[in-house]
Amino acid sequence: RDAAGEEANYPRWVRVNAIKSSVEDQLETTFAGYGRAESISEVIKSHKKHVFLDPHVPNLLAITSGVDLSKTQAYADGKIILQDKASCFPAYLLDPRAEDGDVVDACAAPGNKTTHLAAIIHEHKPEFEAPAQTIYAFEKDSRRAGTLTKMVKVAGSHKTTRIGFGQDFLQVDPKAEQYAQVGAMLLDPSCSGSGIVGRDSMPELHLPDGPETKGKVGKASKPKGKDEEAATKGKRKHDNMEEKTVLIDDEGNETVVKSERDLEARLEALSGFQLTLLLHAFRFPAAKRVTYSTCSVHSQENETVVMKAIASDVAKRRGWRVLRRDEQVRGMREWPVRGLKESCDGDESIAEGCIRSYKDDGMGVMGFFVAGFIREGDQDEKEV
């Protein structure tokens, strides 16, 4: 199926930005005149404009696709953010509270999850109830960091967010005084992007850039667009993996991953980089909660990274473990699609703790993975 055909099976997901608006406001203004759908399939199939209130993620709406919401005033004002449902899972799962202290978004551009974190913090503790928590949002790529800066400003989260412009998260010293109060961390690193739905207006494009993948995916690995908006128009088309995978960047350059071996090598490089980032996050002295996410459906980038992370020395020394399903926020506990048990060494509890989604499963979301990690007590002094 081509991208346009694929898009027809998805709604347009809209996150209402709690810093600037509310679901009630948006239903009365931007979506006034839209019929209320009772299910996601009704929104997808409807030929008329419909809106559906998502039962899992707060402040999330599904809208009949085909409407260009980027032309609305609410979008220009940062009152609504076009963000796939699954992409909303990490910040919601992390659920930073005042007692968690400061928050890190390690791989932040274009800023969907940074602004979501800011909105959640705002809802838990409105600004007038100082002291506010700080979000440290790091982005290695300067061009993408520019987009992040703009998005954070439009969404009204600039007062609480400090942007590490062009900052490699791996070069950030966890022991630095500045980060002494960081209790919650969101990690959404570059990945293969195998869960992305091939549509032009996808709000986030995962770019496996950087030395860890250079040369593995050829010219499609880096966008050459003039600006970030152009970059986000890039597409990936995943044909049958057995035959070939075509990566298409914003200028239409195609790179073909020809064999299963090419793909395996690329996934191995990516998962090594993803694990390194996760273990770096585990080292922040006050960190108690971490989420790790990808928009990949490959277990190598998902459950395998989780299993290696909890088996690591730093995890054992500091007491990191996977956040169980029964400990998760309600919407994530109730989300039915969970991790692959066979990729979790048969551990049912860890697999259940992992959250997955697949495109083409009728729920109208992209392919995605997220796991939460938690550390209780003060086990850092313990010797392994």
Whole-number Å distance between alpha carbons of 210 and 218? 12
- Nearer to ligand SAM by Cβ, of 64 and 274: the residue is 274
Whole-number Å distance between alpha carbons of 9 and 2? 12
Q: For 377, phi and psi rounded to 5 degrees?
A: 65, -170
| Three-class secondary structure of residue 138 per DSSP | strand
Residue 92 touching ligand SAM (CB under 6 A)? no
Q: For 201, phi and psi rounded to 5 degrees?
A: -100, 20
* Nearest by Cα to 96 from 213, 185, 20: 185
Q: Minimum CB separation from ligand SAM for residue 5, in Å? A: 25
CA distances to 207, 223, 290, 366 from 199, rounded to whole Å, are 16, 16, 30, 11
- Burial grade of 230 (CB within 10 A; 0-12, 13-18, 19 or more): middle
- Nearer to ligand SAM by Cβ, of 296 and 343: the residue is 296
Whole-number Å distance between alpha carbons of 350 and 341? 8
- Nearer to ligand SAM by Cβ, of 20 and 325: the residue is 20
Whole-number Å distance between alpha carbons of 153 and 157? 6
Residue 157 touching ligand SAM (CB under 6 A)? no
Residue 234 touching ligand SAM (CB under 6 A)? no
- Tell me the β-bridge partners of 32: none
* Nearest residue to ligand SAM on Cβ basis: 107
Q: Minimum CB separation from ligand SAM for residue 242, in Å? A: 26
Residue 112 touching ligand SAM (CB under 6 A)? yes
Residue 364 touching ligand SAM (CB under 6 A)? no
Whole-number Å distance between alpha carbons of 26 and 28? 5
- Residue 140 CA to its chain's centroid (Å): 16
Judged by CB under 6 A, the number of residues near ligand SAM is: 24
Which one of 170, 176, 241, 311 is in contact with ligand SAM (CB under 6 A)?
A: 170
- Nearer to ligand SAM by Cβ, of 64 and 357: the residue is 357
Q: Which stretch binds ligand SAM (CB under 6 A): 20-28, 58-66, 139-147, 250-258?
A: 139-147
Of these residues, 88, 107, 295, 344, which one is catalytic?
A: 295
Whole-number Å distance between alpha carbons of 14 and 296? 21
Q: Minimum CB separation from ligand SAM for residue 142, in Å? A: 9
- Cα-Cα end-to-end distance for the chain: 52
Which one of 54, 188, 249, 352 is in contact with ligand SAM (CB under 6 A)?
A: 188
Which one of 62, 109, 119, 306 is in contact with ligand SAM (CB under 6 A)?
A: 109
- Nearer to ligand SAM by Cβ, of 44 and 109: the residue is 109
Which one of 15, 20, 56, 113 is in contact with ligand SAM (CB under 6 A)?
A: 113
Q: Show which residues are catalytic.
A: 295
Binding site for ligand SAM (CB under 6 A): 87, 107-113, 138-141, 144, 168-170, 188-190, 204, 206-207, 209-210
